[in-house]
Structure formats: C-alpha cells, structure tokens
Chains A and B, each alone.
Chain A
C-alpha cells in the first residue's frame, strides 16, 4: 500500500512538471501578453513606457530562458509576483485563496452527498413512485443546468428579489469576522454549486442500490426475516455505496469547473476567481501558480479516492 502510494505520488509530481510546461507553452501561444492587457485601448499608453515595463518584468527574454527561470524559482518555493498586482507574491495570493475554495467546495460536496444519497435511496426503495419520478425530473434539470445559469437565477431570486442572502463576497465588508456572517455568505453559492453534483450522485445511487437489491444475498436476508430497514441500511447500502465513492472522487474536477463560475458570479475570493481574473489580464505568474495548485489538488484527491476505495472494499488488492 505504501509503495503504491509513493509510486502514485512520484507520477503525480512528474505530471505537475509536465502540466507547468504545457500551461507555459499554451499561454505564450495565446495572442497578447500582460503588457497588452495593461493598455486600455481607449486610453493608450506610450510604447516606450510599455517597452520599459516589459523589460522590467523579464518578458523580453526568450521563452526557454523564461520557463527555466520560473522553474528554478518555483523549486525554491517562489512563484514570482503577480503582474497586475506587483506588490503581491503569487504564492501568498494562491495560498490565501485555497481556504475559501476548500470551504465552498467542501460545503457543496457535503450538501451534494447528503442530498444525493438520501434522494437516491428514496428513489430506489420507492421505485416508480411519484416521489421517485419527481426526484428524477429534478435531478435531470440539475444535471442539465450549467453552473453559471443556476448561479445567476439563484442570485436574482434570493439576493435581489428576496434580500435573504448577500449578493457576493465572503464576509460583510467593514464588519468584524463572525462565523454567522461567513455562513450567511456561504450557503447560497455552496447550495447552487452542489446542485449538479447532487443530481449526479442521486442517479448513480439509485441505479446502484437497485442493482444490489436484486442480488441473491439481499433476497436471502429478506427470506431470513430481517426487517426491510435493516436489509437496506446494513446489507444493501454499504455495497451500493462503493461506486459512489469513485464517482465523488471523479466529480471533484467537475466541481472545480463549477466553482470557477460560482466564484466569479458571487465574488467568492477563491482559486476560481483568481484564475479567471488572471486569464483576463494575462497574468502569467498567477495563472501558472494557480494551475499548479489546482493540478496538485486533483492528483491528491484521485490518490485519496483510490486509497479510500481500497479501504472500503478489501477485495480490491493494490500493489
């Protein structure tokens, strides 16, 4: 197990380096650079000032030199400075964004797991009932609505019309920190972010449980006179949950995509907001830093998923 994890970890590090090269190359292939983003075409700046800026930022160097310089610095833990906000080191910016993103995605995941599994079980147990059918319709709508659309609709209903929730941000500006204030800001974006994932989990849970309920050992348990509640909770549910663990791990990537939209609509100060902003301003160091951290998270989550899977189902041998 330890050997397996170590091997996966080393492959992961190799993938991160490859990812950094790929992102570096792709960024340079896009037209425009940070200096071009500096100029508002309505208020142009003098090209000699721009040339000075370019030189000061090292953007006049050849590409391999720029990449090697970046890599050398990155290995020492220095990801450089944001170009748009020169007074902010990239590492500090990225680290300050991990917390809010993890909080948002973690809460959304918790919502999604609870709602998805509960509804999935209801759907399977009361198969083809009115409850099952209506949940399926809701799930279908949930899967098909893109995050930015549900975010805008949610924002309009709960914030603009009903005034129940703040329209954005993580804390009320100018107020002292309080957990209540944080939760107040968290609940709407987290709930909206969880919609698609909850729907997906529900559908898989329902299918998986139905399959298990048809197995011989379930019939045996019923035949032995075990009460239906225990048949489902003790015998069927545990086995039906196995594929769900993998599913949850593999939807983390999906959730990151959704989080980018949600964060930018709700101004949630996380990695997604940082990344969108950096791409718009061609802020290379920030894009590199944020991508690397997100990449590292996905690799770690996948590793953890595999390990969890092995723990939950001892039949799976890893080595």
Chain B
C-alpha cells in the first residue's frame, strides 16, 4: 500500500514535469524560417493537388511541380502565348500537323545530359494509360514521335488540333535513365516520385515529410542561372484557415487565398495581394434531358431574372466579370451579343409566354453543386431569392466533388437529382478547353458534358474552332461559339471570378499567376529571392 502511493506521487511528479518542460522551451525556439529559404503553400487552393508528385498523374499542382520539373514548352507569365522551356525553340508546319522541338542544352539533377531520347521516352509514358497518365486520351492524336538527332524531337499528329500546344505544356520531361527499368504498370506505385525524383528545373528535390512539407535545394548548375534562394519549401495544409494562420504568423511567405480573405490583407504593408483571372466560368447548367428547360424562353428568363452585377458587387467585392457566353476575353467576344441585363419583368413575361405554370410552376427544382464555400452558399441564396421573384423555385443542394461527379457523370442519371447545376469550367488560356462541357460528342459516358447539351450549331462551331490552324481565324471561330452560346443558352452563364494569392513583401521577383491547374507558366523560380 505504502509503496503504491509513493509510486503514484513519483508518477504525478513526472507528469507535471513533462507538462512544464514545453513551457520552458517555448521562448527559446524561433518560428521564423531561415533566410534564403522561401516557404509557401504552393498547393493550396483550386490549382493545387496535394500529396502526389507524379506529373503523369497530376491534373493540377503545376505551380509546384514546375519548380523542379520542366515541360518542353510552357505558357508565358501572363498565360497569353506558348513559349519554349526545355525546348529552346519550336516550329509548327503549315498544315499544323508536325511540331519540331529544338532542345536546350540542359542537365538532369544527377548531372546526366537531357537528350531527345528522354523526351521521346516521356512522350511514350504520357501516351500510355497503363502508367496512370491522365494525359493519354488528350495525346491520342499523336501519330509518331521521332528523334532525328540528339537535340531534336519531331511530333506528328494525325489531324490538326489547336489544343495540342496547351496539352504539351503539361507534359513534364522525365529521365529515361532513372525510369526505363520500371514496367509501365508499376511506374505509378514506384516510390521514386516521393523519394528521389530528378528533373531539370532550378531546384532539386531533397526531402518529403509525408503531408507536412517538401523541401527543394537550389540547382546551382541550372542553365538559366544559379538560383538566388538556397531552398524552397512547400507546406501542406489540411485546412485553408491553417495556411492563412501560417502566413500571418510569418511561417510561410506565400499562399492562395479565397476572395473573402483578401480584405484582411489589402491594407497590410507586410503583404502584397496578387490578383488574376481564374479562367473558370461559373454557370447554371440546365439539364437538357429535363423537360423543364426545353423552351429557350425559360432559359432566357433565368438569365434576365438574375442580377449578376449586384451579386458581383456585393458578394465578390467587384472581383468578377459578368459572362454572356463561356468567355470574357475581348478577342473571343463578338460585339453584338445580348448582355441579358437584369430585367425581372421581362423574365416574368417570357415565362408566361412559355407557359411555365404548365411546365413546372412553383414546384421545387433541385440545383446541384460541388461548391461548398461560404461564398458559394451566399451566391446560391441570392440566386434562389432572385429566381423565386419571377416564379422559379430552386432548392440548392451542395455535395462534395466525388458525390457530384458520381451523380452527373453517370451514364443513366436520375434527372430529378440535378435538373440544374451550379458549376464552373475552365475556359482558358486555351479557349478550346470549354469544348468538353458543351460538345454533343462529350455527353457522358463519352465526356463531361454534364448538362447533356445537344445543340448541333454549337457542336459545329466548337469542332471548326478546334480544327482551325490559323490563330486569327481561330479567334473568329471562337466568337461564333460565343454567339451560339449567347443565343441558344446551353447554360445560364454567370461570371468569371478573380483568384488571389498573398505574398510577403519581403519576397522579391516572385511570379505567381492564378492559372487553371496551377499552370505551368514561366515563373522563373531561379530569380525568386527573400530579404533577411
């Protein structure tokens, strides 16, 4: 008995002292990162794809991947034109079917030279679905990849495709000498990606601590010059609020933020707000398999009933542009399209003409969405109220993305579950990317045309724009797409919102562009630097 109580006293003492130790060390440990190290939440937000370092499997996350891997070609910093990266130059034949890439004099991180054989090997991996490549279908149009010499790669297509350069910016070059011995179907499971990957970029992979951070060290031999920073660290955050907390406490110097978090940083001299186009058009997608939306006057009424300017001003703080087709870029919009200015009276009149009382009347209509942010909830509440005023009774239902996908991509879906969707689709920098959501040939299970849009005029306009080799004529062709969308209203297009990054003002020459999927684009990480 005596021994036991003495033991418990000792145990209590030990516990108390463990509790006291942390309190003593707290003041001694610095929270600031080393100088010459830039830490950021590079994969936070819609452009990120946390935890997977395999560029063949990446649908997003290129902001980070392109710090150590490089594609042959990439977008410029403004996402306006495609420029050379690992290819010092490239040429396109007049029929738009042969692409010739001249390779730069580059080295892998293990000092072996980068050659045309590596490029051909990478294309082989990216075109082979067995490797887990998410690009395989997009590269199906390739008929051959040839390497006439060590510094030249010639890619031939079976038909011209204006989207080919855009796809090529996402093919990160991989070293044949490190990966050729791994069978294609085992490649995705190989630990190489998260332990010892090598690329040709300005930084080398040094360490990954599962779900905590990745550390890269400067590649002092980089052909674009020795990097100014010693290290770049990408931290992972399970929760966006945690990323903002880390930014404000000085533990990281950069992260993506939602537009509602911008005001807290706007007048703070320690931070710079980076603003840019999201390239994602938000829309109400009418399910064209539903009898509710057959009459174009009903779809027009939805456009007239929503006060988009009010929503943009009050909920987005002005940081969005109204969209009257899938695009907001000037060169893609014909001058004479309808702007569908807010007009609830006209909406009511159109609904009366169409006989809305007989079609549906006040019965509730399920609106499905995968947007679960507070902003989206507010937007939908406003849209619900505005549509109710003209007699359309929608009920928003927000689910997570996998649930949404499983409902809308189903080959034989239950129409009652999604008579209407609130969604977004990327509309740039390659204007052709909108095709998958609107072309009749892309109706599930063939593709992601979830609104089941069956409009021959639109399909024809999209097909001819995609096949148009001349870039000036291509813009005109996309104007046709815009015009058809504006008249036939496959979707009630709403707006294209801006995206925001916040960077510490201590960081110099930093480039971040709010690109779909994170880019890639010319970010020049070798030039980034940080003040002490």
Interface residues of A, Cβ cutoff 8 Å to B: 30-34, 36-49, 52-53, 56, 81, 84-88, 93, 96, 107, 110-111, 113-114, 152, 155-156, 159-160, 163-175, 180-181, 183-184, 186-187, 233-234, 238, 263-267, 269, 273-274, 276-277, 280-282
Contacts of A81 in B (CB 8 A): 189
Cross-interface CB contact of A42 among B238, B242, B516, cutoff 8 Å: B516
Q: How large is the interface on B (under 10, 10 to 19, 20 to 34, 35 or more residues)?
A: 35 or more
Q: Does B472 contact A (CB under 8 A)?
A: no
Q: How far is the CA of A65 from the CA of B282 in the complex (A)?
A: 41
A31 touches B241 (CB 8 A): no
Tell whether A32 pairs with B212 under 8 Å between CB atoms, given A45-B134, A160-B245: no
Tell whether A32 pairs with B406 under 8 Å between CB atoms, given A110-B18, A174-B33, A266-B242: yes
Contacts of A238 in B (CB 8 A): 4-5
- Residue in chain A with minimal CB distance to B407: A31
Q: How far is the CA of A100 from the CA of B353 in the complex (A)?
A: 65
Contacts of B238 in A (CB 8 A): 263-265, 267, 273, 276-277
A87 touches B5 (CB 8 A): no
Cross-interface CB contact of B250 among A163, A172, A277, cutoff 8 Å: A163
A43 touches B426 (CB 8 A): yes
Contacts of B446 in A (CB 8 A): 47
Shortest Cβ distance from residue B50 to the other chain A in the assembled complex, whole angstroms? 8
Q: Does B313 contact A (CB under 8 A)?
A: no
Those of B387-432 within 8 Å (CB) of chain A: 399-407, 409, 423-426
Q: 27 interchain pairs (CB within 8 A)? A: A32-B400, A41-B401, A41-B405, A41-B424, A43-B517, A47-B444, A48-B136, A49-B135, A52-B129, A52-B130, A52-B136, A56-B130, A84-B51, A85-B194, A87-B53, A87-B190, A88-B210, A96-B210, A114-B15, A114-B16, A163-B31, A171-B212, A174-B34, A175-B34, A187-B26, A265-B241, A277-B51
B132 touches A174 (CB 8 A): no
Q: Does B191 contact A (CB under 8 A)?
A: yes
19 further A-B pairs in the complex, CB-CB below 8 A; given A39-B401, A186-B22: A32-B401, A32-B402, A36-B406, A37-B402, A40-B59, A42-B425, A46-B137, A52-B136, A81-B189, A86-B54, A86-B132, A87-B194, A168-B237, A174-B33, A174-B231, A184-B26, A233-B5, A264-B239, A269-B212
Q: How far is the CA of A181 from the CA of B28 in the complex (A)?
A: 9
Q: How far is the CA of A20 from the CA of B235 in the complex (A)?
A: 33
Contact with A along B124-142 (1 / 0, CB 8 A): 0000011011111110000
B405 touches A47 (CB 8 A): no
Shortest Cβ distance from residue A77 to the other chain B in the assembled complex, whole angstroms? 17
B403 touches A173 (CB 8 A): no
Interface residues of B, Cβ cutoff 8 Å to A: 4-5, 12, 15-16, 18-19, 21-23, 25-26, 28-29, 31, 33-34, 37, 39, 46, 51-54, 57, 59-60, 129-130, 132-138, 185, 188-194, 209-213, 215, 231, 233, 235-239, 241-242, 245-246, 248-251, 280, 370, 399-407, 409, 423-426, 433, 436-437, 444-448, 516-517
Tell whether A42 pairs with B280 under 8 Å between CB atoms, given A32-B400, A88-B210, A269-B212: yes
Q: How many pairs of A and B residues are in contact by the CB < 8 Å rule?
A: 234
- Residue in chain B with minimal CB distance to A48: B137
